[in-house]
Structure formats: C-alpha cells, structure tokens
Amino acid sequence: MKKLYLLILILAGTGFVFAQGNQYSCYPSNWWTGMKWNTVQVMIHGDAIANAAGGFTINYPGVKIIKVQKVENTNYVFIDFNISPTAKPGIVKIKVNKASSPFDIPFELKARRKGNGTDFAKGVTSKDFMYLIMPDRFSNGDESNDRVPGMRDQSLNRDTVFNRHGGDLKGIQNHLDYLQSLGVTTLWLNPVIENDMDNRTEHGYAFTNHYKVDPRLGGDIAYQNLIDAVHKKGMKIIQDAVYNHVGIKHITVLDPPMKDWLHQWPAFTHTSYKDQVLFDPYASKADFKVMADGWFVTQMPDLNQNNSFVANFLIQHAIWTVEEFGIDGWRIDTYAYNDLEFMNRCNKALENEYPRLTLFGETWVHGVPNQSYFAQNNYTIPYKSNLQAVTDFQTLWGITDAMTKDFGWTDGVNKLYTILAQDFVYKDPMRNVIFLDNHDMARFFSVVGEDVEKYKSAINWLLTCRGIPQFYYGGELGLTGFTSPSDGYVRQDFPGGWTQDHVNKFTDEGRTVKEKEIWNHISTLANFRKNSSAITSGKMMQFTPQDGVYVYFRYDDKQTIMVVMNTAKDSKTVVFERFRERIRGFSKMKNVLTGTINDIKELKLETYTSAVFELLK
C-alpha cells in the first residue's frame, strides 16, 4: 500500500506540503442555519492539527460536536457538527485545545438565502435556451485580473490556443443584453472554480480549491455579481460540476488526508472509457474497475467516492455552492466515470434542499440504452439512476447523420428518427439537453462543410425538437474549428470581446453578410420559441422519413408547429395530405422565420433546407 500512496506524490511532483504556523482552513468554509443538511462534516487542514492533545470543543447555542475523526495524516481532522433549528447566525469558535497554546478556529453560520431553497435555484426546463460559454475565451471585462501574482500559470497569449487569453466573468456580464437579444435565457459556464495548475488552465476542469472562484475570472465577488445580474434580467445560470477528479495541485493531492482519498494503482492507469462495462451483465470486475477507477490524465487524479470523507466533501460543496451563490442548476462533468451510487446520494441531497434545481449529466456514450442507463429511465434493472436528464449525444449523432450522410434504411435522417423513436426509455425526455457542439467537439458549422443551409436546418431542429436546447458560444457567427490537432481550436475568442480586437461581432455592424444571416436566423427562431407553448411544453409527433424528407410536429391545445426538412441531395416537393392527422382543421401555414403565409397544399424544398411553420385556421 505504501508504494501506491507514493504514486500520488510522485505524480504531483512533490512530497507532503504542511501548513505553517497557525494557518488552518475549513472545508466547507461556512454553513447556514435552517438547512435540511444540518449535520455538517468540517474538514480542517493545518500543521499537525490532529495532534491537539486536549481535543476540540465548542460552546455555541444550538450547535454541538457529534464526532471528531482523526485520519492517517495528522494535518487533517474531520469534525461532525449538528446544527439545530434553534441555532442563530454567528461565528462558531472551534477551540483547539493544544496543551501549550490553545486557540480558536472561526466557523461562520450564515442566515439562509430568502426563500429557503424555493425562491432561488429555479432550474431550467424545455422553455429555456441555454448558451455555453468558456469564460477565458468570451470577453475580457477586467484586464487587472489577467495575471494574478502567485498563481502557477502566468501565461497570457492570445496567439496560441494553449495559454490563457484573459476572458472573465465581468466580460460575460457586460454582454447580457447581447445574449438576451439572441434569445438566450440561460447561461452554462465551463468551470469557474480555481484551477491553480501549471498550464492549460483555460478550460477549468482541474480544481485546486473547491471553495474559491478563480481570481483570474474575477473571483467570488465577480461571480456573485454576474449571477445577480443574470437573475435581475430574468435569466438563469448553470454551473459546471466536477465530482470525478481534481487537479493534481489540489491540497488533498499535495497533502493527502489518507491513502484511499484517491483511486490508486501500482502504475498510472487510464480509464478505459468503456461505459458498457457498467451495465454489461457479462462484464468482468477487472474491466469495471478500470472504467470506474482509472484516471483521465496524470494531471487529474481520480477521487474515491466510496470513501465517506470524500463523498461528504463533494456533496457538501455542491450544497454550499447553490446556497452561497444562488445558481439554478448543475451540469455534471464526466457523469459515467463517477461512482453511480454516490451520484444518486449527491443528486438526492441537492434535490432535498433545492426541489427546483436542475441536474443533467455529461454522458458522452454511443447508443440510447447506454445513455439512458445514467438517467431516470423505465428499465427494471439493479441500478436505478435518479439523475433528471443527460446531455443528449444520441440526438447529436442523429442530426449529424441527417446533415452529412445519404438517406438509407438506418442512415441519414432515419438515424435521427430512430433515436427519437426510442424516447420511451426515458422518464421525461423533455428534460434532456440537446445540442450541436460544445467545447470538446468540432464546431457544427465545420462538420457540415460550412454549408449555411445545412447549418440553418440543424438550428431549426435544435430549437424545435423536444428537450432543452444548448448552443455553444460563437456558433451564432458560424465560427469554425475541429478538435484535431487540439481541442483548443474549437475554443476561439469571441471577436470583439477584447479592447484590442479590430472588429466587434457583438454588434450587427461588425458582422459579415453571412454572419448576419446565421445570427438573425437563430435570433428570430429563438425569440419566437420563448412564446411558443407548442415547442416549449407541447407534445411531439414525427412521421417516418421518406426519400430524405422528414416532417414532425410540436403541438398542444393552443398551437401547432410543423417542421419540414429535406435531407436529400435534390429538391423535393412535399405534399401535406400525408400529415392530415395533424393538419386537420388548419388551412394556412405561416413561416415562422419569414412571416409568409400560404395555403396548406404542398411545399418545394431545395436540398438540405428546412422550414418551420405555425399552422393557422
């Protein structure tokens, strides 16, 4: 076991790092009165903290110590507090009874946010349109935080995709009006938590301090200011959660509390990325372990969520974040690589505290059964996930095939049709997040060969299909890029987000003719969507594709929307008589994007074009 323990220290490039003097840190850094999660496990880290011969005491009305637990590393102690309903906000003094020099560690109890978890953390629904932003690459609103003294990564070079560029939270806040004009209702930001790593810190997925917003993004104050500004405009915000791993410079890696805080191996072991072994009835235990416990990369150690201290650390941080900042939901990174029973516990704890909170997990897998295994589903199987929804990679593969492959029995648009036909496996497919691309994938405009008509057809699908649509920043300009040779090439700066930029594409005047065409297309449909009951909460009916033509409807008692898509290589004339089941009682159809009204008879569509109609009496 000692050899396995040393592996972590070798990979970290350091031995133990001890706190100096009486510098002690509490995790979580504070808590609240009136919480349902009222027994809090506080991890205290500092120089030989566990060696306090006289132990630990408190004297605060309504708060009592339940248990004090010392672990292998004397730099840590875990203290379980019970906070009764009668406890009042204030400073709880944790008395460390060192024989020679006793001292106090302050731990704050705050009053809860107004509404006690019901008036905030509102969650997102199919009525929303979500916009994904990588903060370092969107806009630089505060140049004073571009470099922060003392942090490991001091790069600041916009000429390479591998360094930081200086975008921050203030830059996002400065452009909320722009986002609203586009039709956006919700922001999802790539991680904002501190990533004090040596390099490639722009993406944010290697946390080094869970209780600190990265100061290069503006820190805690800038994050709260952004969230408050977002909510003031009636918009929502999703935070990116990472439970599976941390950065190798995290304090619990540099100075591990215990040997099994992380998943350890005799030699570095990658995860296999084979999600199938998690549900395969014939899978070997060895394959299961490599998938679940293997590391992503050497710089991102894999957390052992079967360790109760780790589990509490992560769950409490999730609750703390919602209460501290008032976010509306979580996108959960690398969902399949977490311990799934732990995830059920974490999800339940969050929903108990915040019943309207949204939780959706990244499930980059192939196949509807694979994907639905990780969400609330209708299967009778040993493991039952309580996750509300997933990032719907399957519909992404479907719309990609529809726009790039010839029509066939299972190919082209038939793949999209077949994937949606399997929605019966989900408890609520309307909660799934649908998308065309993200920060890890080729930009969809490049995938379709920069064909504007194909791109607009895909956007029509995105904004009218069932689910919650998510759009990746810059896609409204038709930004291009592939992930080869590096994912950095799909993480460009938004033109106009820096004072040095020669053009400003946040304004109509700064956009080219092609960019205006794409931008206006999205804005028109997204803003129409806001007030369309059929699209945002109605039912869906699709008809089997024929000869490359795909037609589906979104409808309720108030409205009927018809989407017609031609994915063939030649023009097609669509005769609507086939769809009388849904068009009965209507005589006119209004093109949502152009406003043109025509009789419902037939429609000629050029290759790879589509149209969205509202049916009229």
* Tens-digit pLDDT profile for residues 137-152: 999 999 999 999 999 9
pLDDT band for position 22 (50/70/90)?
Answer: low
5 vs 545, residue with greater confidence: 545
Q: Residue 308: which residues within 8 A CB-CB, separation 6 or more? A: none
Short-list 360, 493, 362, CA closest to 440 = 362
The whole-number average pLDDT for the span 378-399 is: 98
Per DSSP, the residues of 426-479 read BS-GGGSEEES--TTS--HHHHTTT-HHHHHHHHHHHTTSSSEEEEETTGGGT-
**Measured CA distances, 308 to 42, 84, 175, 289 (Å):** 13, 23, 42, 19
Tokens coding 511 = 């956009």
pLDDT tens-digit map of 461-495? 999 999 999 999 999 999 999 999 989 999 999 99
Q: Just give the CATH number of 130-530.
A: 3.20.20.80
Domain with CATH 2.60.40.10 in the chain: 2-110
Cα 124–Cα 125–Cα 131 angle in degrees, nearest 5: 60
User: Look-up: residue for tokens 């703390």?
Assistant: 320
Helix (H, G, I), strand (E, B) or coil at 35: coil
From 17-26, 110-119, 386-395, the region with the lowest mean pLDDT: 17-26
The whole-number average pLDDT for the span 547-571 is: 98
Mean pLDDT of the chain: 95
Short-list 100, 129, 106, CA closest to 187 = 129
Q: Is 476 a catalytic site residue?
A: no
**Measured CA distances, 48 to 53, 128, 259, 297 (Å):** 11, 50, 17, 31
- Entry field: residues in the chain: 617
SS (H, E, C) 135-200: HHHCCCCCHHHCCCCCCCCCCCCCCCCCCCCCCCHHHHHCCHHHHHHHCCCEEEECCCEECCCCCC
Q: What percent of the chain has pLDDT over 70?
A: 96
Return d(Cα 555, Cα 460) in angstroms, integer.
16
Return d(Cα 441, Cα 244) in angstroms, integer.
21
Please tell me which residue in 323, 333, 339, 401 is annotated as part of the active site.
333
Q: What is the structure's pLDDT at 23?
A: 86
Return d(Cα 603, Cα 119) in angstroms, integer.
47
pLDDT band for position 119 (50/70/90)?
Answer: confident
| Partners of 32 in the β-ladder | 110
pLDDT tens-digit map of 392-411? 999 999 999 999 999 999 99
Considering only the C-alpha atoms of the chain, give the largest distance between any 2 of them, rounded to a whole number of Å.
92
Short-list 143, 133, 222, 198, CA closest to 492 = 133
Domain with CATH 2.60.40.1180 in the chain: 539-616
Choose the CATH number for 539-616 among 2.60.120.260, 2.60.60.20, 1.10.10.10, 2.60.40.1180.
Answer: 2.60.40.1180
Query: DSSP label at 425?
Result: G
pLDDT band for position 189 (50/70/90)?
Answer: very high
pLDDT band for position 18 (50/70/90)?
Answer: very low
Tokens coding 503 = 């053009």
Return d(Cα 389, Cα 374) in angstroms, integer.
8
The backbone torsions φ and ψ at residue 237, rounded to the nearest 5 degrees and listed phi first, read -140, 135
pLDDT tens-digit map of 202-214? 999 999 999 999 9
Per DSSP, the residues of 269-338 read -B----GGGGT-TT--HHHHHHHHHSBSSTTSPBB-TTSHHHHHHHHHHHHHHHHHH---EEEETTGGGS
Q: What is the structure's pLDDT at 117?
A: 81
Please tell me which residue in 362, 401, 476, 493 is annotated as part of the active site.
362
Return d(Cα 186, Cα 526) in angstroms, integer.
12
pLDDT at 7 over 90: no
Cα 591–Cα 462–Cα 491 angle in degrees, nearest 5: 130
The backbone torsions φ and ψ at residue 180, rounded to the nearest 5 degrees and listed phi first, read -65, -40
User: Look-up: residue for tokens 């120089």?
Assistant: 47
The whole-number average pLDDT for the span 299-324 is: 98
pLDDT at 25 over 50: yes
pLDDT at 16 over 60: no
Q: What is the structure's pLDDT at 116?
A: 82
pLDDT band for position 17 (50/70/90)?
Answer: very low
Q: What is the structure's pLDDT at 99?
A: 79
The whole-number average pLDDT for the span 582-604 is: 96
The whole-number average pLDDT for the span 44-54 is: 92
Short-list 612, 615, 400, 397, CA closest to 522 = 612
What is the second-level CATH architecture of the domain 2-110? Sandwich (2.60)
What is the pTM (predicted TM-score) of this model? 0.95
Domain with CATH 3.20.20.80 in the chain: 130-530
Q: Is 194 a catalytic site residue?
A: no
The whole-number average pLDDT for the span 412-429 is: 98
pLDDT tens-digit map of 354-371? 999 999 999 999 999 999
**Measured CA distances, 147 to 152, 154, 157, 165, 191 (Å):** 10, 6, 11, 10, 18
From 18-22, 303-307, 373-377, the region with the lowest mean pLDDT: 18-22
Q: What percent of the chain has pLDDT over 90?
A: 94
pLDDT band for position 512 (50/70/90)?
Answer: very high
pLDDT at 234 over 70: yes
Q: Label residue 500 left, alpha or beta by phi (over 0 means left) and psi (-120 to 50 means alpha).
A: alpha
Helix (H, G, I), strand (E, B) or coil at 562: strand
Return d(Cα 132, Cα 247) in angstroms, integer.
22
